[in-house]
């Protein structure tokens, strides 16, 4: 062999060995440093390189239940410490105190490998859900008026109209005594609602849902996010975008963007044509009107891209979440006929003596027991089970020093099932937990379906009113019964879904 080639080869080899030794020493020091911070704290079993999640049950229902187990068994000082992939420190906040501590901080959303925020960015861009820092703060200020009660009030027309379509669909199921998937039907209803409220998209989604190209694209986008969690190798972009699902995801994002852009362009033109031209003749001001007219302290509005990102964000956050909440609440009511009856009696009482079943804005506070059931349903099933933050600087929780770079998981699901907070019967549906006397005794951070602190859900009042309107309509018309031949299993992704559907029967009331 040529001597110079030999020397080159030797140098490269030495270089590789030095790099490996450096990486191993660095890795070892990192592990020791993190271990020192969590000295004395018990950790659930973990694989030395793949971390703790590799030791979790493989099936989605088992995984989500496992969080309850470890949070009840291993929690110390408000946290459970886990090792992530390649020994990344992960801290689960699962008590009201630790939840308060991290929710009130300005720790950003994590956009790392496992972060749902990174995966949805090609669709939502830097919309409110994904953005961090100054950009988030400015846009949150600009968007807050969109959720003012005066804006939300007229949406009751939309809630009623879409719930009526759902009722008509279910009447045919009642007549034929066919079982049906509650989740899929409710999902089309909530998608129709948010499309109307976001930008007055008036197409008939619930009847044409399976064929409408926009709905098909949105459904495929959300399904593909879900797919990436089911098959973790898909978390790597270079793999995902080279699969047929990834390529379709890209195509669907482009299509959904083009639809939104066209609507925004038309509305902008109308608004530019005269002060309130776009609003005249319309029954309600939609989110798009607010976004296009919002101005910051310097009189600067949102750019076209920012408007599109926010419209898409409302769409994403505003339909899967409410569909999950409504479906799981119906599930618990079907499981507990006595509570279902009590809700029906209350709805009958509120709506009695009227010509129609229109649920008015002023009815919302009258649904007291229904609201207790809604809250208990959101506690028990946690429509958004987990959200993540990343601490950029060393951070203290419960006297523990959490190193910079750790992921802090706000595990809403585990907090809602913490035995020390909710008692040993935390898996049971008990609406009385939310009676006014019991609510008075609660910590503000023990029930947080909409998260808490500055990055809480901006759409929570919208969501609560939508849930009440749709549920009141459904319970006024039907009694729900579970299909006992089919086990409903939880499947946590960005929202709490089911593994293979939530099948029920309905019976028309007073039929």
CA 188-193-194 angle, 5° bins: 100
Check binding of 387 to ligand HEM (CB under 6 A).
Answer: yes
**d(Cα 249, Cα 461) in Å, to the nearest integer?**
31
**Alpha-carbon distances, residue 6 vs 13, 15, 77 (angstroms):** 11, 14, 58
Judge whether 256 and 221 are in contact, CB under 8 Å: yes
Tell me which residue of 465, 473, 457 sits closest to 506, measured CA to CA.
Answer: 473
**Alpha-carbon distances, residue 508 vs 16, 352, 372, 481, 503 (angstroms):** 73, 18, 24, 11, 17
Interface residue with ligand HEM, options 445, 450, 478, 480 (CB under 6 A): 450
CB closer to ligand HEM out of 2 and 150 = 150
Check binding of 252 to ligand HEM (CB under 6 A).
Answer: no
Q: Please report how close the Cβ of residue 432 comes to ligand HEM at its closest, in angstroms.
A: 21
Part in contact with ligand HEM (CB under 6 A); list of ranges 32-40, 216-224, 244-252, 447-455? 447-455
Q: Please report how close the Cβ of residue 103 comes to ligand HEM at its closest, in angstroms.
A: 9
Part in contact with ligand HEM (CB under 6 A); list of ranges 12-20, 24-32, 263-271, 448-456? 448-456
**d(Cα 334, Cα 340) in Å, to the nearest integer?**
7
Check binding of 459 to ligand HEM (CB under 6 A).
Answer: yes
Q: Please report how close the Cβ of residue 264 comes to ligand HEM at its closest, in angstroms.
A: 17
Interface residue with ligand HEM, options 81, 85, 395, 462 (CB under 6 A): 462
Q: Please report how close the Cβ of residue 450 comes to ligand HEM at its closest, in angstroms.
A: 5
CB closer to ligand HEM out of 152 and 174 = 152
CB closer to ligand HEM out of 53 and 462 = 462
Check binding of 458 to ligand HEM (CB under 6 A).
Answer: yes
Q: Please report how close the Cβ of residue 323 comes to ligand HEM at its closest, in angstroms.
A: 9
Burial annotation 486-504 (CB, 10 A radius, 16+ → b, else e): eebbbbbbbbbbbeebbbb
Provide the phi-psi class of 367: left if phi over 0, else alpha when psi is between -120 and 50, else beta: beta
Q: State the CB neighbour count (10 A cutoff) for residue 275.
A: 9
CB closer to ligand HEM out of 317 and 390 = 317
Site string (403-442) toward ligand HEM, x via CB under 6 A: ----------------------------------------
Check binding of 449 to ligand HEM (CB under 6 A).
Answer: yes
**Alpha-carbon distances, residue 205 vs 188, 230, 292, 314, 400 (angstroms):** 7, 28, 25, 17, 50
Check binding of 503 to ligand HEM (CB under 6 A).
Answer: no
Interface residue with ligand HEM, options 383, 470, 475, 503 (CB under 6 A): 383
Q: Which helix (H) or strand (E) holds 90?
A: strand 89-93
CB closer to ligand HEM out of 34 and 151 = 151
Judge whether 260 and 171 are in contact, CB under 8 Å: no
Check binding of 463 to ligand HEM (CB under 6 A).
Answer: yes
Check binding of 120 to ligand HEM (CB under 6 A).
Answer: no
**d(Cα 446, Cα 379) in Å, to the nearest integer?**
10
CB closer to ligand HEM out of 140 and 481 = 140
Q: State the CB neighbour count (10 A cutoff) for residue 483.
A: 17
Check binding of 384 to ligand HEM (CB under 6 A).
Answer: yes
Part in contact with ligand HEM (CB under 6 A); list of ranges 239-247, 252-260, 292-300, 454-462? 454-462
Q: Please report how close the Cβ of residue 122 comes to ligand HEM at its closest, in angstroms.
A: 17
Site string (13-52) toward ligand HEM, x via CB under 6 A: ----------------------------------------
288-327 positions binding ligand HEM, by CB under 6 A: 313-314, 317-318, 321-322, 325
Q: How many residues lie near ligand HEM (CB under 6 A)?
A: 23
CB closer to ligand HEM out of 64 and 325 = 325
Judge whether 385 and 412 are in contact, CB under 8 Å: yes
Give the torsion sign (CA, 426, 427, 432, 433): positive
Check binding of 158 to ligand HEM (CB under 6 A).
Answer: no
Tell me which residue of 375, 313, 412, 327 sits closest to 64, measured CA to CA.
Answer: 412
Rg (the chain; Cα; Å)? 25
Give the torsion sign (CA, 32, 37, 39, 45): negative
Judge whether 105 and 395 are in contact, CB under 8 Å: yes
When CB distances to ligand HEM are compared, the closest residue is 459
**d(Cα 397, Cα 75) in Å, to the nearest integer?**
12
**d(Cα 39, Cα 403) in Å, to the nearest integer?**
13
Binding positions for ligand HEM, rule: CB under 6 A: 109, 128-129, 140, 313-314, 317-318, 321-322, 325, 383-384, 387, 449-451, 455, 457-459, 462-463
């Amino acid at each position: 062999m040529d001597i110079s080639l030999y020397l080159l080869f030797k140098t490269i080899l030495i270089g590789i060995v030095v790099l490996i030794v450096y990486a191993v020493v660095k890795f070892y020091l990192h592990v020791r440093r993190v271990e020192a911070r969590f000295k004395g704290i018990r950790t659930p079993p973990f694989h030395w390189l793949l971390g703790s999640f590799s030791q979790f049950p493989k099936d989605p229902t088992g995984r989500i239940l496992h969080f309850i187990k470890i949070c009840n068994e291993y929690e110390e000082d408000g946290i459970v410490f886990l090792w992530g992939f390649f020994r990344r420190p992960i801290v689960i906040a699962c008590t009201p105190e630790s939840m308060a501590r991290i929710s009130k901080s300005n720790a950003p959303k994590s956009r790392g490998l496992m972060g749902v925020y990174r995966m949805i960015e090609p669709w939502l861009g830097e919309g409110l859900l994904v953005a961090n820092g100054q950009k988030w703060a400015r846009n949150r200020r600009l968007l807050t008026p969109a959720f003012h009660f005066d804006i939300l009030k007229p949406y009751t027309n939309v809630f009623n109209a879409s719930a009526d379509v759902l009722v008509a669909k279910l009447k045919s199921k009642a007549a034929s005594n066919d079982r049906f998937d509650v989740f899929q039907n409710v999902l089309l209803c909530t998608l129709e609602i948010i499309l109307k409220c976001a930008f007055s998209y008036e197409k008939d989604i619930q009847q044409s849902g399976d064929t409408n190209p926009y709905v098909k694209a949105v459904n495929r986008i959300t399904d593909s996010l879900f797919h990436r969690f089911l098959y973790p190798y898909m978390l790597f972009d270079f793999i995902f975008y080279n699969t047929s699902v990834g390529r379709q995801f890209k195509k669907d994002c482009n299509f959904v963007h083009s639809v939104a852009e066209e609507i925004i362009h038309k509305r902008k033109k109308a608004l530019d044509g005269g002060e309130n031209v776009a609003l005249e003749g319309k029954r309600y001001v939609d989110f798009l009107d607010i976004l296009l007219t919002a101005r910051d302290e310097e009189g600067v509005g949102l750019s076209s891209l920012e408007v599109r990102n926010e419209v898409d964000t409302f769409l994403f956050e505003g339909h899967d979440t409410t569909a999950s909440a409504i479906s799981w609440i119906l599930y618990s009511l079907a499981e507990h006929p006595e509570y279902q009856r009590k809700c029906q009696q209350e709805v009958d009482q509120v709506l009695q003596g009227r010509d129609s079943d229109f649920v008015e804005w002023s009815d919302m506070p009258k649904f007291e027991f229904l609201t207790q059931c809604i809250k208990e349903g959101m506690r028990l099933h946690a429509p958004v089970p987990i959200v993540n933050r990343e601490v950029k600087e060393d951070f203290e929780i419960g006297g523990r020093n959490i190193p910079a770079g750790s992921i802090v998981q706000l595990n809403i699901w585990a907090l809602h099932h913490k035995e020390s907070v909710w008692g040993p019967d935390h898996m049971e549906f008990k609406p009385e937990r939310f009676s006014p006397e019991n609510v008075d005794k609660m910590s503000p951070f023990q029930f947080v379906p909409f998260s808490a602190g500055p990055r809480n859900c901006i759409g929570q009042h919208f969501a609560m009113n939508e849930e009440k309107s749709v549920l009141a309509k459904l319970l006024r018309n039907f009694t729900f019964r579970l299909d006992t031949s089919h086990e409903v299993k939880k499947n946590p992704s960005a929202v709490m879904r089911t593994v293979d559907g939530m099948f029920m029967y309905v019976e028309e009331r007073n039929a």
